[in-house]
């Protein structure tokens, strides 16, 4: 006979319909109950009612995984867990920062469509918006820009630290290490519960990551470091630290400034991607934000994530000519070659709205400074892939990284620097997500479960013949 228990949290089974709110209504962090689910355990015949809850008006509907814990075949059992490698179907947090509808190709920061922000906002305005939830007043904006501008200098010791890297060190390794090293310069940043410390750490990271990034660039180029110029805008100053030579005042190409500002906005946040999840997971141990952001840089470095922009250019170089594209696509499809880099996305299954903006931006940049020599290969790759059943049936479309590399190259950035540009922009999103995580009373240290598939208990019996093996010196002597 089936008996009905009530799940923790006491789901009554009554369904409460989600009220539609006006688009401008202030969002609530509460999860609304919108229905119920009954799970029947065939082992015991017990039925468990669970709440179906939804975040906001557009948020996904979910059940709380902890509600499954009460489902046990016997009293001593742990209870059911979910198994979800790569978090394909698991919400790890509530967030009010970025909204993505992958089927419709929608991306919004705090409710504002990415297209509008890319066209009209500045990067620092977007960084404020991501952190604070609303657009800044003029006074707030001025103070924000002022604070960030006057924290762009890094401690002189950072220069000697950077000098320790080899001339051909990858700039992402250098950036990751130097961001982590900043933690040692600001030990008070550990006081993450102090809003004042949190604020100054956020300002320092937004201000100093471009400086560190530019210093990494100058190091691999064997050029002297250029100090920040506080008269310039965020993007102009970054370009000045990258490109200035003997001129007393650097004047950036306005086309490049505009392009980089837009690219920074497009890359500023993207909800719970690999690097943001890394920042949240590491930050949940209550470590200082410099260490947490360094974890984000490390995750971004990978070729399946931010590192894809670098790989797209390497792939295009390898293809070499538009006539080689069909053969390359065949290799991708047969699994002989690599993946088609810059294609596909875990969330976007119709198109990546950022890719559309980047493609338009590329046209604008190339119209001003001349066509990139490999654009033809990229266009041919896109044309063939978009009409090929392999890509169409798997919903693989160009993502944001497909065209960014061509723009960065036309601005004369070296290929292995592309992901650094992504990291500079994403720092804004990582910081907003990190602070949101700290303010979320439901968050605890990130600690996933596992399904153990190894041996059961067995007795230790050594297979060694010598307890203290020969040293390598002895081996060499033999």
Q: What tokens appear for 284 in the block?
A: 């949940």
Structure tokens at 233: 């805008």
The whole-angstrom separation of Cα 378 and Cα 312 is 9
Give the largest Cα separation in the chain, rounded.
86
Q: Which residue minimizes CB distance to ligand CMC? A: 344
Which listed residue (144, 343, 408, 418) binds ligand CMC by CB under 6 A?
343
Q: How far is the CB of 118 from ligand CMC (least distance, A)?
A: 16
Q: Which of 267, 288, 345, 352 is catalytic?
A: 345
| DSSP characters over 154-180 | --THHHHHHHTS-TT--HHHHHHHHHH
- Does residue number 332 form part of the binding site for ligand CMC (CB under 6 A)? yes
Nearer to ligand CMC, 72 or 338 (CB): 338
CA distance 70 to 47: 11
Using the 8-state DSSP alphabet, how is residue 477 labeled?
H
Find the shortest distance in angstroms from Cβ 22 to ligand CMC.
Answer: 31
Asked if 48 contacts 70 with a C-beta cutoff of 8 angstroms, the reply is: yes
Residue 305 interacts with ligand CMC (CB under 6 A)?
yes
From residue 435, alpha-carbon distances to 126, 128, 285 in Å are: 16, 13, 13
Of the candidates 406, 146, 90, 131, the residue with the CA atom closest to the CA atom of residue 269: 131
382 is an interface residue for ligand CMC by CB under 6 A: no
Q: How far apart are CA 179 and CA 291, in angstroms?
A: 7
User: Contact between 425 and ligand CMC (CB under 6 A)?
Assistant: no
CB neighbourhood size of 425 (10 A):
23
Q: Is 401 a catalytic residue?
A: yes
Is residue 131 close enough to count as binding ligand CMC by CB under 6 A? no
CA 218 to CA 116: how far, in whole Å?
A: 34
Q: Is 304 in the site for ligand CMC (CB under 6 A)?
A: yes
Residue 270 near ligand CMC by CB under 6 A: yes
Nearest-approach distance from CB 448 to ligand CMC, in angstroms? 18
For ligand CMC, give the closer residue by CB, 296 or 344. 344
Near ligand CMC by CB under 6 A, which window of 136-144, 314-322, 393-401, 450-458? 393-401
Question: Binding string to ligand CMC for residues 273 to 302, with x set by CB under 6 A, is what?
Answer: x-----------------------------
Q: Which stretch binds ligand CMC (CB under 6 A): 128-136, 199-207, 320-328, 392-400?
A: 392-400
> Binding residue for ligand CMC (CB under 6 A) from 36, 237, 399, 410?
399
One of 305, 372, 374, 416 is an active-site residue; which one? 305
305 is catalytic: yes
Is 396 an interacting residue with respect to ligand CMC (CB under 6 A)? Answer: yes
CA dihedral 72, 78, 79, 82 (to 10 degrees): -150
Residue 392, interface with ligand CMC (CB under 6 A)? no
Q: How far apart are CA 432 and CA 285, in angstroms?
A: 17
**CB neighbours of residue 374 within 10 Å:** 20
Cβ 179 to ligand CMC shortest distance, Å = 18
Backbone angles phi, psi at 384, to 5 degrees: -70, -45
User: Closest distance between ligand CMC and the C-beta of residue 34, in Å?
Assistant: 27
Interacting residue ranges for ligand CMC, rule: CB under 6 A: 270, 273, 304-306, 308, 332, 339-346, 394, 396, 399-401
Q: Which residues are catalytic?
A: 305, 345, 401
């Amino acid at each position: 006979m089936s008996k009905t228990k009530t799940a923790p949290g006491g789901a009554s089974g009554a369904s409460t319909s989600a009220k539609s709110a006006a688009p401008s209504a202030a969002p609530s962090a509460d999860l609304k109950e919108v229905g119920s689910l009954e799970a029947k355990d065939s082992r015991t015949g017990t039925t468990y009612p669970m709440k179906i809850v939804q975040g906001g008006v557009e948020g996904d509907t979910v059940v709380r995984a902890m509600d499954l814990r009460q489902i046990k075949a016997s009293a001593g059992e742990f209870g059911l867990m979910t198994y979800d490698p790569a978090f394909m179907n698991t919400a790890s947090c509530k967030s009010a920062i970025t909204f993505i509808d992958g089927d419709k190709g929608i991306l919004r920061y705090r409710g504002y469509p990415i297209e509008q922000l890319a066209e009209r906002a500045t990067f620092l305005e977007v960084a404020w918006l991501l952190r604070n939830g609303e657009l800044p007043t003029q006074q707030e904006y001025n103070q924000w820009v002022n604070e960030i501008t006057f924290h762009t200098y890094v401690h002189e010791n950072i220069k000697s630290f950077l000098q320790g890297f080899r001339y051909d060190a990858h700039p992402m390794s250098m950036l990751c290490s130097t961001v982590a090293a900043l933690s040692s310069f600001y030990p008070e940043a550990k006081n993450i519960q102090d809003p004042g410390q949190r604020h100054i750490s956020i300002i320092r990271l937004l201000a100093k990551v471009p400086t560190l990034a530019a210093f990494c660039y100058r190091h691999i180029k064997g050029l002297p470091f250029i100090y920040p110029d506080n008269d310039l805008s965020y993007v102009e100053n970054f370009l000045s630290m990258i490109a200035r030579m003997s001129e007393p005042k650097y004047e950036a190409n306005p086309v490049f400034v505009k392009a980089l500002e837009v690219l920074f906005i497009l890359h500023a946040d993207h909800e719970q991607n690999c690097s943001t999840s890394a920042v949240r997971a590491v930050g949940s141990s209550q470590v200082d934000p410099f260490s947490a952001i360094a974890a984000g840089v490390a995750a971004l470095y990978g070729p399946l994530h931010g590192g894809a922009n670098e790989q797209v250019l390497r792939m295009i170089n390898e293809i070499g000519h538009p006539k080689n594209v069909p053969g390359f696509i065949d290799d991708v499809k047969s699994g002989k070659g690599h993946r088609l880099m810059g294609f596909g996305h875990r969330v976007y299954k119709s198109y990546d709205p950022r890719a559309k903006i980047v493609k338009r931006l590329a046209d604008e940049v190339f119209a001003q400074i001349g066509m990139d020599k490999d654009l033809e290969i990229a266009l041919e790759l896109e044309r063939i892939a978009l009409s090929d059943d392999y890509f169409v049936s798997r919903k693989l479309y160009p993502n944001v990284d497909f065209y960014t590399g061509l723009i960065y190259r036309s601005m004369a950035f070296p290929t292995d620097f592309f992901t650094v540009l992504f990291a500079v922009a994403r720092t804004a999103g990582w910081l907003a997500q990190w602070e949101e995580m700290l303010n979320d009373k439901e968050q605890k240290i990130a600690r996933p479960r596992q399904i153990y598939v190894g041996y059961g208990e067995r007795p230790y019996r050594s297979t060694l013949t010598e307890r203290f093996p020969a040293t390598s010196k002895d081996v060499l002597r033999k």
